[in-house]
């Protein structure tokens, strides 16, 4: 909790103690008892279907979506609730403001996590999944979330995965799904393919056997074909900068040059060795060459006296994981092949080494070693006694001994005709020279690899392809979908590296859709990330059965306006879904390029001890236990109040109790009629000002997803009303206005108590069908000033803000304004300065 909030809570709980002492003896009013009201409303709302989606084309729409969960056997913790309650509050808020709101829920039920858990607990996933989803459903209803359950979807149902297969075919037809051999980890003892995560330090995590890389046919989606657009379109979406950066780095676009070095080894056909470099300006500083151990030239060029050593090195290197090999911490190792190549610009002969820090799958699999200007090369050269040649002079320090590589800018030296050029210009000059002599060409490489989608596993959507002896690979025609996942008892991985489906004769043998001759079905299934790459479309019309979605409904609802989930999905799901959407856009299936307009990552809730909640630590807090003791509203209120939405926080029982006490006070305040009379003008004005200011604050806070400050504003408002009531007479109109406003503002965050108080005070069921209260700007803005926002000295935005606005709020408002974001997004924030009472000055680079 930030210090500012803590001091507010301090004030609030002080006044709470006083109030409690005063109220205790009265006893006229029934106690606030969540257990007596929450189940009742839950049933009533459900029976009346008050949250059913209304698709009204005359209204603006708001599509508010949570990452659809994989329902695990442990059920939801209060950490998950931190994701689902805020989106529920937003959905309720937009509904009250007259929007058509789509707020659905469904289950990411296919894939490895479910299958793994089924194996562990000795059940069949088909029986296990419905139990788990039922429990999630129950818990989400318990906390009072307003989903339209008639739109519930489940990715493991045939009426869903039929369309996952349909999208596979769409990619296939567009040349974006293909089958190719890929090197995968293989355990020679268990005879099974292992995922990257299942290999630790070169051995199988289960049996400890040294693993090997094996070439097996696998299915891929060609996401690399979309690399540039996946980077470019980050500019048009409102996502956390952190996630955008992770995606950019994951795609890893590098502009550089591919350079040929001359090769003249007797008996070897290849006459050149190509490297990829982003630093052509350092070419005169090359003192060795490094090939990846898997490079196809290794076995050809190695001289006979080096063979034994080289083979031994290759053997152990291929067992290391890519992550280990790339680690900068690790000591560099390698071995000399005995062969040389020629630097065609300097005519020098360069010794060729192999080393595991060169990756076979990046660039050309070969690196030109420039120890003076690259740190990895520097360490390698130190270890193997290779010479250093400085070719970029650090300004003023030419010729000095280097303690580490000089990777920064400088002037070119010892580089022939290029001497004296600043190295940035030198990059271009050398690239030009290489291109002119046809020994190099400018090129772009990416870190991103094609998306490996096939799993030799049971619990997934079968890949809709058959293999025909005559026609080869044939796609299953759309009208034959779904390819049903057969019911089998032995669904465990087979140990042969093939999917368990391969043992099911009735499944495998089929006829070719093309020639009608005998054919065999593909037995691989799709990994779960295929299912989650389009589910947001399905929610727009989940019962449509002639197409993945109803195009009209899709056009009305999409794109998703607010998407909320954990940051751990930054480069998998969030990249895959963007890729599929672009493919759909190109195919004319959807009219937009990006599926999720705005993305937010909720903060993590840690256990009270500050550690991650986990079953093994036994520190998981469930919503069930909290609701049982304090009610769902206290749980919701506390989840919203505990910290800014995107900030991590530790669970605190005291914090929860504080919110519970506040709800008690609200209960008393609303139900205990004040002494009515004729107060003075000033008192009436003061109360109305508080009412309208609070509505304004709550409205703006919800628009900006500042749930914690919204709750604290409602707490302060409660304090004020209590004090005003206790101080003397209140007139009926002003009090009713205050009560209406208070309850209506409580409806999104704490829906049960809001409904109970609303109906108890004679207002008409249901408060959740009412409109959000409007505020009178002149009353609300009585004590405000115009806050000006500048970006790099230019005026970009103005706001009317309260005179006592905090520095933090002023900066937040400035930075979250769309007009300001248009000038800051994609750039680095160098400075944000607040001049109280005047302006926020933002400097970006």
Where does this chain bind ligand ANZ (CB under 6 A)? 254, 276-279, 282, 292, 357-359, 362-363, 365, 367-368, 370, 373-374
Min CB(358)–ligand ANZ separation in Å: 4
Which among ligand ANZ, Zn ion, none contacts residue 840 (Cβ within 5 to 8 A by kind)?
A: none
Q: Which is nearer to ligand ANZ, 206 or 213 (CB)?
A: 213
Sign of CA dihedral 687, 690, 693, 697: negative
Which among Zn ion, ligand ANZ, none contacts residue 373 (Cβ within 5 to 8 A by kind)?
A: ligand ANZ
Which among ligand ANZ, Zn ion, none contacts residue 81 (Cβ within 5 to 8 A by kind)?
A: none
Question: What is the crossing angle of helices 653-671 and 751-760, to 10°?
Answer: 10
Min CB(356)–ligand ANZ separation in Å: 10
Which among ligand ANZ, Zn ion, none contacts residue 843 (Cβ within 5 to 8 A by kind)?
A: none
In the beta sheet, which residues pair with residue 422?
Answer: 411
What number of chain residues touch Zn ion (CB under 5 A)?
A: 6
Which among ligand ANZ, Zn ion, none contacts residue 468 (Cβ within 5 to 8 A by kind)?
A: Zn ion
In the three-class reduction of DSSP (H, G, I as helix; E, B as strand; rest coil), residue 224 is classed as: helix
Min CB(429)–ligand ANZ separation in Å: 16
Give the one residue of 12, 64, 227, 468 binding Zn ion; rule: CB under 5 A. Answer: 468
Sign of CA dihedral 704, 707, 709, 712: positive
Min CB(465)–Zn ion separation in Å: 12
Q: What mask of x and - would describe binding to Zn ion in positions 786 to 825, judged by CB under 5 A?
A: ----------------------------------------
Which among Zn ion, ligand ANZ, none contacts residue 515 (Cβ within 5 to 8 A by kind)?
A: Zn ion
Please give the structure tokens belonging to residue 269: 């056909």
Which among ligand ANZ, Zn ion, none contacts residue 470 (Cβ within 5 to 8 A by kind)?
A: Zn ion
Give the one residue of 470, 769, 798, 819 binding Zn ion; rule: CB under 5 A. Answer: 470
Residue bearing tokens 């109030």: 19
Instruction: Quickly count helices (H) and strands (E) in the chain.
Output: 28, 34
Q: How many CA atoms lie within 13 A of 826 on its CB side?
A: 10
Q: Rounded CA gap, 190 and 85, in Å?
A: 45
Q: Which is nearer to Zn ion, 322 or 473 (CB)?
A: 473
Stretch that binds Zn ion, among 371-379, 468-476, 661-669, 690-698 (CB under 5 A): 468-476
Q: Which is nearer to ligand ANZ, 367 or 627 (CB)?
A: 367
Q: Which is nearer to ligand ANZ, 358 or 512 (CB)?
A: 358
Q: Which is nearer to ligand ANZ, 277 or 601 (CB)?
A: 277
Min CB(416)–ligand ANZ separation in Å: 17
Q: Which is nearer to ligand ANZ, 100 or 282 (CB)?
A: 282
Q: Rounded CA gap, 385 and 376, in Å?
A: 14
In the three-class reduction of DSSP (H, G, I as helix; E, B as strand; rest coil), residue 510 is classed as: strand
In the three-class reduction of DSSP (H, G, I as helix; E, B as strand; rest coil), residue 268 is classed as: coil
Q: Rounded CA gap, 445 and 253, in Å?
A: 6
* Strand boundaries in 668-807, DSSP class E: 784-791, 794-802
Q: CA nearest 809: which of 676, 681, 706, 686?
A: 706
Helices (H), 255-342: 298-301, 307-317, 322-326
Which among ligand ANZ, Zn ion, none contacts residue 278 (Cβ within 5 to 8 A by kind)?
A: ligand ANZ
Q: Rounded CA gap, 290 and 293, in Å?
A: 9
Which among Zn ion, ligand ANZ, none contacts residue 521 (Cβ within 5 to 8 A by kind)?
A: none
Q: Which is nearer to ligand ANZ, 154 or 364 (CB)?
A: 364
Q: Which is nearer to Zn ion, 1 or 471 (CB)?
A: 471
Min CB(367)–ligand ANZ separation in Å: 4
- β 106-107/153-154 pair status: parallel
Cβ neighbours of residue 632 closer than 8 Å, sequence gap 6 or more: 34, 38, 142, 143, 144, 623, 752
Q: Which is nearer to ligand ANZ, 374 or 524 (CB)?
A: 374
Contact status: 471 vs Zn ion (CB under 5 A): yes
Q: Which is nearer to Zn ion, 174 or 470 (CB)?
A: 470
Q: Which is nearer to Zn ion, 324 or 520 (CB)?
A: 520
112 near 198, Cβ under 8 Å? Answer: no
Q: Rounded CA gap, 276 and 440, in Å?
A: 10
Which among ligand ANZ, Zn ion, none contacts residue 587 (Cβ within 5 to 8 A by kind)?
A: none
CA 342 to chain centre: 47
Q: Which is nearer to ligand ANZ, 208 or 416 (CB)?
A: 416
Min CB(630)–ligand ANZ separation in Å: 52
Min CB(480)–Zn ion separation in Å: 14
Min CB(390)–ligand ANZ separation in Å: 11
Please give the structure tokens belonging to residue 758: 């609303």
Q: CA nearest 558: which of 584, 576, 519?
A: 584
What b/e string do you get for 399-429 counting C-beta neighbours within 10 Å, with b at 16 or more? eeeeeebbbeebbbbbbeebeebebeebbeb
Stretch that binds Zn ion, among 76-84, 190-198, 307-315, 471-479 (CB under 5 A): 471-479
Min CB(174)–Zn ion separation in Å: 22
In the beta sheet, which residues pair with residue 134?
Answer: none
Alpha-carbon separation of residue 71 from 99, 130, 134, 258, 489 (angstroms): 30, 9, 9, 48, 22
Contact status: 683 vs Zn ion (CB under 5 A): no
Q: Which is nearer to ligand ANZ, 365 or 565 (CB)?
A: 365
N residues, the chain: 845
478-517 residues near Zn ion, rule: CB under 5 A: 512, 514-515
Min CB(453)–ligand ANZ separation in Å: 25
Min CB(340)–ligand ANZ separation in Å: 18
What's the angle, vertex CA 388, arms to CA 382 and CA 392, rounded to 5?
130
Q: Rounded CA gap, 724 and 22, in Å?
A: 15
In the three-class reduction of DSSP (H, G, I as helix; E, B as strand; rest coil), residue 591 is classed as: coil
Min CB(472)–Zn ion separation in Å: 8
Min CB(194)–ligand ANZ separation in Å: 23
Contact residues: Zn ion, CB under 5 A = 468, 470-471, 512, 514-515
């Amino acid at each position: 909790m930030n210090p500012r909030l803590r001091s507010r809570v301090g004030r609030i709980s002080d006044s709470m103690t006083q109030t409690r002492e005063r109220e205790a003896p009265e006893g006229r009013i029934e106690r606030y008892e969540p257990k007596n009201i929450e189940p009742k409303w839950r049933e009533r709302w459900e029976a009346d279907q008050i949250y059913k989606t209304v698709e009204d084309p005359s209204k603006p729409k708001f599509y508010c979506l949570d990452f659809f969960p994989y329902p695990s056997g442990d059920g939801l913790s209060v950490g998950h609730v931190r994701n689902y309650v805020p989106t529920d509050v937003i959905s309720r808020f937009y509904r009250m403001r007259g929007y058509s709101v789509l707020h659905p829920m469904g289950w990411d039920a296919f894939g490895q996590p479910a299958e793994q858990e089924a194996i562990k607990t000795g059940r069949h996933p088909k029986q296990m999944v419905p139990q788990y989803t039922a429990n999630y459903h129950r818990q989400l209803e318990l906390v009072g979330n307003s989903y339209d359950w008639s739109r519930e979807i489940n990715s493991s149902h045939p009426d869903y995965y039929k369309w996952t297969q349909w999208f596979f075919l769409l990619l296939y037809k567009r040349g974006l799904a293909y089958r190719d051999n890929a090197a995968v980890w293989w355990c020679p003892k268990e005879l099974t393919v292992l995922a990257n995560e299942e290999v630790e330090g070169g051995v199988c995590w289960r049996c400890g056997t040294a693993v090997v890389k094996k070439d097996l046919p696998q299915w891929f989606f060609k996401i690399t074909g979309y690399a540039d657009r996946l980077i470019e379109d980050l500019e048009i979406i409102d996502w956390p900068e952190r996630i955008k950066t992770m995606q950019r780095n994951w795609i890893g676009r590098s502009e550089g040059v591919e350079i040929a070095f001359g090769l003249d080894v007797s008996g070897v056909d290849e006459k050149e060795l190509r490297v990829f470099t982003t630093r052509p300006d350092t070419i005169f500083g090359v003192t060795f060459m490094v090939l990846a151990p898997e490079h196809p030239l290794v076995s050809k060029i190695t001289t006979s006296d080096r063979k034994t050593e080289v083979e031994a090195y290759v053997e152990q290197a291929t067992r290391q994981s890519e992550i280990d090999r790339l680690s900068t911490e690790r000591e560099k190792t390698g071995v000399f092949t005995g062969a040389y190549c020629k630097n065609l610009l300097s005519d020098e002969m360069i010794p060729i080494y192999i080393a595991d820090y060169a990756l076979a799958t990046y660039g050309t699999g070969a690196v030109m070693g420039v120890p003076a200007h690259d740190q990895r090369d520097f360490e390698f050269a130190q270890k193997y006694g290779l010479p250093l040649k400085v070719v970029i002079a650090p300004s003023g320090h030419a010729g000095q001994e280097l303690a580490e590589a000089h990777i920064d800018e400088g002037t070119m030296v010892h580089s022939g005709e290029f001497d004296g050029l600043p190295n940035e210009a030198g990059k271009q000059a050398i690239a030009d020279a290489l291109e002119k002599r046809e020994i190099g060409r400018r090129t772009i490489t990416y870190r991103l690899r094609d998306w490996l989608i096939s799993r030799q596993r049971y619990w997934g959507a079968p890949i809709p392809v058959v293999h025909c002896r005559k026609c080869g690979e044939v796609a299953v025609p759309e009208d034959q979908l779904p390819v049903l996942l057969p019911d089998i008892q032995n669904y465990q991985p087979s140990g042969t590296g093939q999917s368990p489906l391969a043992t099911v004769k009735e499944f495998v043998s089929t006829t070719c859709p093309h020639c009608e001759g005998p054919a065999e079905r593909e037995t691989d299934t799709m990994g779960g990330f295929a299912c989650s790459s389009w589910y947001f479309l399905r929610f727009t019309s989940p019962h449509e059965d002639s197409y993945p979605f109803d195009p009209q409904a899709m056009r009305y609802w999409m794109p998703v306006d607010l998407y909320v989930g954990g940051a751990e999905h930054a480069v998998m799901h969030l990249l895959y879904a963007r890729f599929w959407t672009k493919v759909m856009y190109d195919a004319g299936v959807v009219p937009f390029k990006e599926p999720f307009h705005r993305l937010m990552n909720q903060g993590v809730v840690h256990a009270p001890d500050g550690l991650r909640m986990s079953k093994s630590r036994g520190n998981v807090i469930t919503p069930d236990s909290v609701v049982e003791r304090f009610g769902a509203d206290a749980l919701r209120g506390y989840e919203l109040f505990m910290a800014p939405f995107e900030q991590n926080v530790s669970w605190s029982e005291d914090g929860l109790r504080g919110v519970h006490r506040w709800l008690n006070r609200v209960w008393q305040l609303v139900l205990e009629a004040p002494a009515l009379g004729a107060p003075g003008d000033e008192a009436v004005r003061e109360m109305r000002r508080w009412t309208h200011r609070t509505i304004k604050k709550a409205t703006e806070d919800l628009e900006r997803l500042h749930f914690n400050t919204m709750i604290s504003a409602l707490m302060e408002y409660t304090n004020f009303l209590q004090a005003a009531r206790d101080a003397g007479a209140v007139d009926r109109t002003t009090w009713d206005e205050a009560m209406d406003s208070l309850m209506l503002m409580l409806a999104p965050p704490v829906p049960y108590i809001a409904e109970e108080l609303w109906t108890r005070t004679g207002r008409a069921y249901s408060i959740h069908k009412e409109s959000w209260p409007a505020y009178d700007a002149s009353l609300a803005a009585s004590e405000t000033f115009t806050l000006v926002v500048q970006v790099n000295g230019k005026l970009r935005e103005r706001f009317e803000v309260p005179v006592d606005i905090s520095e933090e709020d002023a900066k937040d408002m400035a930075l979250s304004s769309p007009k300001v974001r248009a000038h800051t997004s994609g750039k680095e924030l160098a400075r944000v300065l607040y001049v109280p009472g005047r302006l926020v000055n933002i400097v970006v680079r």
